[in-house]
Structure 1
Amino acid sequence: MASPNISFDTLPSSIRKPGKYFEFNTKLAVRTLAANAQKLLLIGQRLTSGSLAAGVLTNVFSDVEAATYFGRGSILHLMAQAAITAYPYAQVSAIALDDAAGNAATGTITIAGTATAAGALTLWVGNDRVDIPISSGDTAAVVAAALNAQLAKQPDLPVSAGVAGAVVTLTAKNKGTLGNSIKLSTVLQLAAGITSTVAAMSGGTTDPDIQSALTAVYTAGHTIICSSLTDSANLTKLRTHLDAVGGSIEQRGAVGVYALTSTLAAATTLASAINSGRITGCLAPSTQSLPWEVAAAYAAVIASEEDPARPLNTLALTGIAVIPFANRLSRTEQENALYNGVTPLEVGPGDIVQIVRAISTYTLDPQGIPDISLLDITTIRTLDYVRKSIRERIALRFPREKLSEKTPPKVRSQILDVLYKLEELEIVEAVEANKDGVICERDSQDPNRLNAKIPTDVVNGLHVFAGRIDLLL
């Protein structure tokens, strides 16, 4: 207080006893940027066999833990399994939903005939394989009973099974429309005389409401929220949540993730209904993997990249089943997806499902005019990180600062220092060119408030290279 350029927090100016007094000032210790660890939250349905009740937020470190917490074969268990497979080092937490009072989807496998030669039957439930041997002379009922018995030995499947005569009925373990997305198919190897007919999963109705889970995690600070639910009503609630926690008051920026395995038309329709710069939805048409597994894998891959500005192009979704040839998006369809808020997935070398370009669902501004400002999901993630870095620096340097004429230049200096460091990491650019636009000034109405304007030129991804080759003869 008695020095014009040095302030003390613990040494009063009224000391009269002789001595040499020192205090420690840690406000200048941190000169680096804020950490950008990614916290992934999975939201999905549980089974009553799980040890954790709905609405309880918990960290998940393994597939086994997820099975215990949420029930083997539950939507949330399989989401955790897919996320950990795609990126084993992800910081994963989960919160469960109870099934709504709806119906569970069902499908059937009908066996007919009598085997005249030995062979085998393979049933695919999503991307999970169920194999049984068939002996010559086995009747349809014997084969169906064997298939039912094998299904019971694989508790991680998303369905339970029952048999009546030669018909095996599969029932989704969770109620709701998501069960209708479980793909079934059979393959017979030899086993002449036996046939199998598949009736697709259907009849699942009434999905739970995501709002209770979002309310429970409002202050938890997750940076990526993956939803198994893909209906527009629940995704609209996710959008509202993300806008609230990532807004200028709460300042806990996060992005939402979902996935579809249906059609491009369905994906573009859903994306247009969401139209959010904080939500990204990917499309893997007709993959055997379940949509919530694709969503969790996609979210985990996003979490694997802590550099917010670095594109996610070509990153693999390890564990996700290959998209069938007949359903892979053509070059034109991929462009259509990217112009309509859908992140297309494709099959790369080695039959690996990978990201083409990770974009948000935001395509139109509030006036309905096409707007590319938040096209890439990296843009909002970069802005969130710039805000976090500047906010933490100001909090560290000025925890108990007085507001005088000396204050604005000091704050501006710290903001510029952060921007220059961000530029070194190629997260923002053109800081020198824009530094005159960095303004710190006292508020005209509130004497205790300092306002700042911070022009931020985010680094864009290199998505397109165009070259012209001139022929010379």
Structure 2
Amino acid sequence: MSDNVSFREIPDDIRVPYQATEISGVRADATAPGLPHKIVLVGQKLAAGTALPGVEVVVQNPDQVAKLAGRGSMLHHIAIEAKRANPYAQMTMVPVIDLPAGAAATGTLSFTGPATAAGTIPMYIDGNRIQVGVSQGDTAAMIAANVAIQINAAVDLPMSVPVAPTAGSVALVARHKGECGNDLDVRFAANYGESMPSGVGVTITAMNGGSGNPDVAPLLAAISGSDRIRLVMPWTDSANIAAAEADFDVRYGPMVKQESHLFACVSGSFGSLTTYGDNRNNINSTVFWREGNMVAPYRLAARAAGLVSMRGASDPARPYHGMVLTGIPAPAERDRGTLAEHNALLKKGISTFKYGAGGEVMIEMVCTTYKTNSFGMPTKSYFKINSKWGADYFRFRWDALIAQRYPDFKICDDDTDFAPGQPMVSPSVLRGEAFGLYKDLEYTGQVEQTESFKETLIMLRSIANVNQMNAVMAPNLVNQFDVMATMIEFIN
């Protein structure tokens, strides 16, 4: 029989005297929860790695990944960067072997000599410093042999020298097949004050010829659970990026609500990145420009994804401008884009880094690739990832409130006269809940203009389905302090 208070677990037909106390946690979560998510690393493993291809594995630290995917593997390097940026994040990886039909990138170092004085060769491979000693009188062949020994001794490098050098020529081969090897950087005397030993010269043939990327679709299908995904995407060919975007479009929908996002980084000139941006248009993807940086693009993507995910989980509205990619060397000034080029690329949906006076690499702007709506009209609605994640967070908080407080309530009109203890919900009750949530989010700096939200809020019982409540909400997400514009009118 219905009473003025309705319990979930205490029966109403017990005749024996008893004391029953039901405990409920519907009001226990008074604090603002963070947006639940996990960082997912997809990438290539080496044959030495013990992990099963296509199977998701929880990632604890880079040393574990070195065992599972192989030291010096793509996944090993990605894990190092992601964990350095966000060491306490929930993180998993899905490994894949090289595409059998692919080809590994190759490059050549051609040395000249002999050395007229002893010294040290400062060599950089993927940003890693390798120092090779040179004695006076060393010939080109001797120098090449020593260089090969040092490269092969550094087992964490993304390339090796599988064939002994001949006539002063060192043949470099990427550890992985695929396009990723084409972006591996090799240079000498890269920092101020460094130089080659007297009499020693080198000509670099850049890494090239890498082809064939694995298919990301099976890896996405292997990702389990309902947590939102922050994907580090190492393959930036159109087919793989489009496959990931399509997968995340489905997850973003109103029934799944697993709002996910991919982070990638692309090498190339300003012109090539302009073309790349023109061919992407999705709210779930962020692509950074690697403008002559010494480290591989997938390493930059992993570090940026870790930083952005960490801040975005705790405060979706706070800008990412100025977050430092600690330890990542900045590109030479001649290789950096201009302010005008950065601005133009942002309009194309390409995110950018900036560089400090001390050589720090920092995030400048994180945007999505979404630029035009379904009608082909330009839009800035999802330009910033802050806007997307701010809307995601509002949806998450509203859904969590309803699920927590009203999991098994009855529905009624506002003029229904029911006992206060009855589990009934009406439009006015939910309207009050929505307003209360908005005030909470205003206090935590996520939204503004509460009165406008209250005036435009619509909460109605459906006329098509008596068991359904319909709502229309227009949260005004706070903006980011990006620009300080000042006019100074001096007086003589």
Same fold (TM over 0.5): yes
Could you tell me how far apart the structure 2 residues matched to 1:270 and 1:209 are? 20
Task: Give the match for residue 172 of structure 1.
Answer: 174
**CA offsets per residue over residues 216-267 of structure 1, 9 Å max, x none?**
1164523411101111111111111111112111001122111123222222
Closer, same or farther: CA 190–465 of 1 in aligned 2, 3 Å: closer
Q: Kindly indicate whether residue 357 of structure 2 is the aligned counterpart of residue 349 of structure 1.
A: yes
Q: How far did 1:49 drift?
A: 0.9
C-alpha deviation, 1:48, in angstroms: 1.3
Alpha-carbon shift at residue 17 of structure 1 (Å): 2.8
CA contact under 8 A between 2:263 and 2:286: conserved in structure 1? yes
Residue in structure 1 matched with residue 419 of structure 2 by the alignment: none
Give the CA deviation at 1:429: 1.4
Q: Among 371, 387, 393, which residue is 2:379 paired with?
A: 371
State the number of aligned residues: 472
State the distance in 1 between where 2:333 and 2:240 align: 32
Distance 1:190 1:378, change over 3 A: closer
Give the C-alpha shift of residue 57 in structure 1.
Answer: 1.5
The answer to whether structure 1 residue 75 and structure 2 residue 74 are counterparts is yes
Greater shift, 266-275 or 63-72, is seen at 266-275
| Structure 1 letter corresponding to 2:400 | E
Asked whether the 8 Å contact 2:109–2:169 carries over to 1, the reply is yes
Superposed CA deviations along residues 187-232 of structure 1, whole A, max 9, x for unmatched, are 4845433322211101101111111111111645234111011111
Partner of 2:416: none
1:247 aligned onto 2:247? no
1:140-195 residue CA offsets vs partner (Å, 9 max, x unmatched):
22211111111111000000213232221111111011100011123484543332
**Higher mean displacement: 421-430 or 215-224:** 215-224
Cα 1:245–1:219 change in 2 (3 A) is farther
- Counterpart of 2:8 in 1: which secondary structure? coil
Q: Secondary structure at the match of 1:253?
A: coil
Aligned counterpart, 1:393: 401
Structure 1 position 125, deviation (Å): 1.2
Describe the shift of the 1:436–1:230 C-alpha distance in structure 2 as closer, same or farther (beyond 3 A). same
1:104 touches 1:205 (CA, 8 Å); kept in 2? yes
* TM score, norm. by length of structure 1: 0.95
> How much has 1:369 moved relative to structure 2?
1.2
Equivalent residue letter for 2:354 = E
| 3-state SS of paired residue (2:279) | helix
Which residue in the other structure is 2:271 paired with?
265
Task: Give the corresponding residue for 1:84.
Answer: 83
Q: CA deviation at 1:414?
A: 2.2
How far the C-alpha of 1:54 sits from its partner, in A, is 1.6
Equivalents in 1 of 2:150, 2:224: separation in Å? 43
The residue aligned with 1:439 is: 458
- Contact 2:353/2:361 (<8 A) preserved: yes
- CA–CA distance in 1 between the matches of 2:20 and 2:84? 57
Is the Cα–Cα contact under 8 Å of residues 42 and 93 in structure 1 kept in the other structure? Answer: yes
Taking structure 1 as reference, are residues 327 and 116 closer, same or farther at Cα in structure 2, changes over 3 Å only? closer
What amino acid maps onto 1:8 in structure 2?
F
Query: 1:364-405 deviations in whole A, cap 9, x for unaligned?
Result: 112221101111111111111111111111101111112222
CA deviation map 1:57-99 (0-9, x unaligned): 1222322112111111111111111122333333332211221
Query: What is the match of residue 65 of structure 2?
Result: 66
Secondary structure class of the residue paired with 2:81:
helix
Output the CA distance in 1 between the equivalents of 2:196 and 2:457. 74
CA drift at 1:37? 4.7
**SS at 1:208 equivalent:** coil
Counterpart mapping for 1:326-365 below 5 A: 326-365=334-373
1:412 is displaced (CA, Å) by: 2.6
Letter in 1 for 2:305: A
| Overall identity of the aligned pairs, in % | 30
Q: Sort the Cα spacing of 1:471 and 1:119 in 2 relative to 1 into closer, same or farther, 3 A.
A: closer
Determine if contact 2:36/2:227 at 8 Å carries over to the other structure.
Answer: no
Q: Which residue of 1 aligns with 2:209?
A: 203
What secondary structure, in the 3-state scheme, does the structure 2 residue paired with 1:304 have?
helix
How far is the alpha carbon of 1:454 from its aligned partner? 1.7
| C-alpha distance in structure 2 between counterparts of 1:246 and 1:218, whole Å | 16
Q: Where in structure 1 are there 5+ consecutive unaligned residues?
A: none
TM-score (normalised: structure 2): 0.91
CA contact (8 A) 2:277 2:345 kept: no
State the one-letter code of the partner of 1:251. Answer: K
- Give 2:237's aligned residue: 231
Q: How does 1:147-162 map to 2 (within 5 A)?
A: 147-161=147-161, 162=163
Aligned position for 2:188 = 186
Alpha-carbon spacing, 1:285–1:211, altered in 2? closer, same or farther (3 Å): same
Task: Give me the whole-angstrom Cα distance separating, in 1, the residues matched to 2:477 and 2:63.
Answer: 41
Q: Distance in 1 between matches of 2:374 and 2:238?
A: 18
State how far apart, in whole Å, the 1-side matches of 2:246 and 2:307 are.
24
- Is the 1:34–1:392 Cα contact (8 Å) retained in structure 2? no
Q: Which residue number corresponds to residue 424 of structure 1?
A: 443
Q: Give, as a single letter, the amino acid of the residue that structure 2 aligns with 1:163.
A: A
Q: Distance in 2 between matches of 1:316 and 1:215?
A: 33
Match for residue 312 of structure 1? 320
Q: Which amino acid is 1:108 matched to?
A: T
Give the Cα–Cα distance (whole angstroms) in 2 for the partners of residues 186 and 423 of structure 1. 53
CA distance in 1, matches of 2:112, 2:18: 99
Structure 1 residues 229 and 15, CA, compared in 2 at 3 Å: closer, same or farther? same
Q: In structure 1, what is the equivalent of residue 133 of structure 2?
A: 133
**Number of the residue aligned with 2:425:** 407
Q: Any conservation in 2 of the 1:109–1:197 contact (CA below 8 Å)?
A: yes
Q: What pairs with 1:270-285 in structure 2 (closer than 5 Å)?
A: 270-285=276-291
Partner of 2:417: none
Distance 1:183 1:413, change over 3 A: same
Q: Which residue of 2 aligns with 1:97?
A: 96
Unaligned runs of 5+ residues in structure 2 are 414-423
Contact 1:123 1:129 in 2 (8 A): yes
The change in CA–CA distance for 1:422 and 1:132 in structure 2 (over 3 A counts) is same
1:163: which partner in 2? 164
Q: Return the alpha-carbon distance in structure 1 between the equivalents of residues 462 and 454 of structure 2.
A: 21
Q: Once the 2 structures are TM-superposed, how far is the Cα of residue 443 of structure 1 from its aligned partner?
A: 2.2
Give the 3-state SS of the residue equivalent to 1:105 in structure 2: strand
Report the Cα distance in structure 2 between the residues aligned to 1:113 and 1:92, rounded to whole angstroms: 49
Q: CA deviation at 1:327?
A: 1.6
RMSD across aligned C-alpha pairs, in angstroms?
1.8
Paired position in structure 1 for 2:303: 297
